[in-house]
Chains A and B, each alone.
Chain A
Amino acid sequence: MEYTPPPFFRRGPSLLARLAFFALLSLMLLYADARFHYMEAMRKAIAVVLYPFQEMASLPGEAASRVESFFVSQSFLQRENDRLSHENFLNAGQLQTQRALVAENRHLRQLLEMQERVEPSSTVAEILYVGRDPFSRKVVIDKGSLQGIEEGSAVVDDTGLVGQVTRTFPWTAEVALISDREQVVPAQVVRNGLRAALFGIGYDGALDLRFMPVNADVENGDVLVTSGIDGVYPAGLPVAVVSNIERNAAYPFARITCTPSAGPNRNRQVLVLSRLAPLPEYPSAADPRKGKPKKARKGG
């Protein structure tokens, strides 16, 4: 090991002073980010610098998956082809009836002078990697603000709602999964239209349906879809299936656990839906951005 002898004068500030300086700087950034989200511009600048590193780091994995996909057996392809064409046939039938229903729905809404139901446009994106932060549930997708991805867009896969775009970079975007602890999805029971809020609990495979009274009409196997009253998620996307209910009269609310219908582990392709048209002005003084229901009530 080699040390250049330090100059006797001009040693610079002491070690402790340097630590204090950098620690204070970090704490200021932390505070500004956690409280006010001031750091987004700086984050984007650093993300652009990191992008080539990220691309290079994902090269070996991509090469491996390409090699793997090259050595797929004929029988597997045959089986998948059969399954897909069968699914395609079923979907085509549903699509035909759906077209008629969309036309009928528009007509009925015009008759009733209701607001036009907006069908969001969508962008196909691929999941680049799962977020590395152990405190949150996120994935990063390969489309960013340059491809028209906006913050707040809903992300779905072929089986249901995956999450919501929370941060966009020029070429990538961060999607917070519905299982993230800070994510709440306003949902509705398909069977009876009961509205509720689905909370992420921080790990895959489970969601909490909170603030439902003990005698709420929820059963195992009930399908929950987005209710669309928050203005973020379009209505009618499948979110979860009720898997476990604990009704304990000692507590005001039932403990209802649900299994999400979609998952980022299932497949790499996801669909990013465009932002919905802004909801009409909220009538009262309540915060219009948080459209989640304050308490569950019967929906009509």
Chain B
Amino acid sequence: MTQLPLLGRVSRSEEILLPVRPAYIAVTLAAATMLNLLPLTGWVLALRPDFVALLLLYWGFHQPRKVGFLPAWLLGLAMDVADGSLFGQHALAYSAMMFAAIALHRRVAMFDLRRQILHAIPILLVMQLIVLGVRHAAGGAFPGWWYFLPTVTGAIVWPLVDLLLKMPLRPRPDPDEA
């Protein structure tokens, strides 16, 4: 099996980070909500990744005991109200996404960043497909292939999100050691 190279990769990507406080998760989710609420139009809006989904998925992968279904569900409801869409479509999609994140978190922890993104893409895609399915059942029409762009851009900005979220968690260098 390919056990050994995998282990080698893990030891390279694994770094010791400070423990994540729930308040930090809450602040990052609030920031993601703000980014989702930016008054964008046209192509910029179509290209904008769903930051709330990204952050929920990220914390679901990395801190599955600290984010659960409740924040995902409540933020989904908030997004439904903010978008003026059907009440509960994002709540349903985010709950399913959180399920996938928590179910896969041990597996995802084995991989480096690039392979983590490869796990995130299908989950984000299924999340969008759930929204699409709900709207289709409610009589909506398929808006066009650009509908799936947030998944693509989400995968592109994932490394940046990873970098930014880990920044405050890196332990400060000990002045005595220098």
Contacts of B14 in A (CB 8 A): 1
With both beta carbons as reference points, the residue of chain A lying nearest to B146 in the complex is identified as A134
Q: A50-B78, A53-B34, A133-B84 are in contact. Are A128 and B39 (CB under 8 A)?
A: yes
B109 and chain A: residue at smallest CB distance: A1
B131 CB to nearest A CB, Å: 9
CB distance from B14 to the nearest CB of A (A): 8
Residue-wise interface mask of B (39-54) relative to A, using a CB-CB cutoff of 8 A (1 in contact, 0 not): 1110001100000000
Instruction: Identify which of A49, A58, A136, A138 contacts B39 (C-beta below 8 A).
Output: A58
B143 contact from A39, A47, A134, Cβ within 8 A: A134
CB of B70, distance to nearest CB on chain A (Å): 8
Q: Is the CB of B87 within 8 A of A30?
A: yes
User: With a CB–CB cut-off of 8 A, which chain B residues contact A4?
Assistant: 65
Are B82's CB and A26's CB within 8 A? no
Distance to closest chain B CB from A123 (angstroms)? 20
Q: Does B134 lie within 8 Å of A30, measured CB to CB?
A: yes
CB proximity to A under 8 Å, residues B2-30: 14, 17, 19-20, 30
* A118-141 interface bits toward B, Cβ cutoff 8 Å, 1 = contact, 0 = none: 000000000011111111101010
Indicate if B178 sits at the interface (CB-CB under 8 A).
no
A202 interface contact, C-beta 8 A = yes
Pairwise interchain contact A130-B89, C-beta atoms closer than 8 A: no
Q: Is the CB of B143 within 8 A of A135?
A: yes
> Looking at chain A, what size class is its interface with the partner chain?
35 or more
Residue A57 lies at the interface, judged by CB distance under 8 Å to chain B: yes
| Contact residue among A25, A131, A265 (Cβ-Cβ distance under 8 Å from B84) | A131
In the assembled complex, 30 residue pairs joining A and B whose CB atoms fall closer than 8 Å, in A order, are A1-B62, A15-B99, A18-B99, A19-B99, A22-B69, A22-B92, A25-B88, A25-B91, A26-B89, A26-B91, A26-B95, A27-B92, A30-B87, A33-B88, A39-B87, A43-B81, A43-B87, A46-B78, A47-B82, A50-B82, A54-B82, A61-B38, A131-B84, A132-B40, A133-B83, A133-B84, A134-B46, A134-B147, A135-B85, A135-B135
User: Mask for B71-95, Cβ within 8 A of A = 1, else 0?
Assistant: 0110011100111111111011001
